[in-house]
Structure 1
């Protein structure tokens, strides 16, 4: 009689684990597509074409700025000069004031501070910009899978707020009606966002 392999243990895969695996598969597929696009330089190579390639077939890849000022990925905002900094800050302000403040920030208190002039605090700008970039990636259905929003809350929003809002954070000197002048960086806020007193 031939040796028959013993049957493996009989167990059910939890539904959450199955969804996590599907999310990982989607993320791996998206990353594989990005790697393929980057290694082929956007030109059509051997193998299957991407859906985007059908639209751009026969077109020359876009040329980057001759001086090399274009970034392949979003840069660290504090390294930008005007007008790139101003443009990036405008987008960040729209997200913070339109999504973050009304959706996530409760009334400021001594334990959970917030400065209405947060964009004048470089540390706040840097942290909020990083949180915003993560939000853009992790709320994109093409790349985030089912767990993207949960990952964003756990890995990005919660640590960001834990660093910004305590009394020892960058808003520590700012109280409800007063902004600490020492934190200001004159000239860094785009003129389009300044309010002139009439």
Structure 2
């Protein structure tokens, strides 16, 4: 027949491909173990895949979480209530004061403001928490490779610090020795939805 090939195709698989497949399997097992540890469904150490993990993946059609109402990943800090909020804020303060302030913040100035009581500014808490969550993810070479820190600086840290430390940021009323948390509270803004035609 004219549609059949003249000779059988070469189905030999390069030996290096088997190594690549085994590497991918190991990475998938590691990521599965991390997800299990983060979601609280497993009892093993991070990085250890159990036999039950493989069985669950085969048995569950969609792989959906058991309880959809429960947070599966660290939630945004402003959505937390005490005592979870207090615990998350305490951890954030440790990171900001231990990593961010000594490593990235120079002496405050008119062009680069900073408030030593930053944790009393809700906007600062929100932005710094988002930066911290990204830092936790993007500084792990297993999950993001070696370019994660560069992406963290470019996409998260630099824009957040520009917003926080700018002349119109949440620290704009704070100067050395003075702290103001109410200086940026907006007044009532007229809304098109609340106006009725006369």
**Shared fold per TM-score greater than 0.5:** yes
In structure 2, the partner of 1:79 is 79
Query: Are the aligned partners of 2:31 and 2:143 in contact in 1 as well (CA < 8 Å)?
Result: no
Q: Which residue of 2 aligns with 1:99?
A: 99
Q: Report what 2:165 is aligned to.
A: 165
Describe the shift of the 1:169–1:129 C-alpha distance in structure 2 as closer, same or farther (beyond 3 A): same
Alpha-carbon distance in 2 for matches of 1:183, 1:30: 50
Give the structure 2 partner of residue 176 of structure 1: 176
In structure 1, what is the Cα distance between the partners aligned to 2:160 and 2:28? 26
Q: Secondary structure at the match of 2:182?
A: helix
1:109 correspondence with 2:113: no
Alpha-carbon RMSD = 3.6
Deviations 1:73-126 (A, max 9, x none): 111111111000000001100000000000000000011000000000000000
| 1:53 corresponds to 2:50 | yes
| Partner SS for 1:95 | helix
Higher relative contact order (CA 8 A, sep 6+): 1
- Flag the 1:119–1:142 CA change in 2: closer, same or farther, 3 A: same
After TM superposition, the structure 1 = structure 2 runs for residues 133-144 of structure 1, keeping only pairs within 5 Å, are 133-144=133-144
| Contact 1:30–1:142 (CA under 8 A) maintained in structure 2 | no
Ranges of 4+ aligned residues in structure 1 off by more than 4 Å: 29-34, 54-58
Q: For 1:25-64, what per-residue CA distance to the aligned partner results, in whole angstroms no more than 9, with x for missing partners?
A: 98xx669955xx68xxx69xxxxxx842259799xxxxx9
TM-score by length of 1: 0.61
Distance 1:119 1:113 in 2: 14
Q: Equivalents in 1 of 2:82, 2:51: separation in Å?
A: 36
**Partner Cα separation in structure 1 for residue 102 and residue 113 of structure 2:** 15
**Secondary structure of the residue that 1:145 maps to in structure 2?**
helix
Write the distance in 1 (CA, Å) between the matches of 2:129 and 2:73. 13
TM-score (norm 2): 0.61
SS in 2 for 1:146: helix
Q: How many residues align?
A: 142
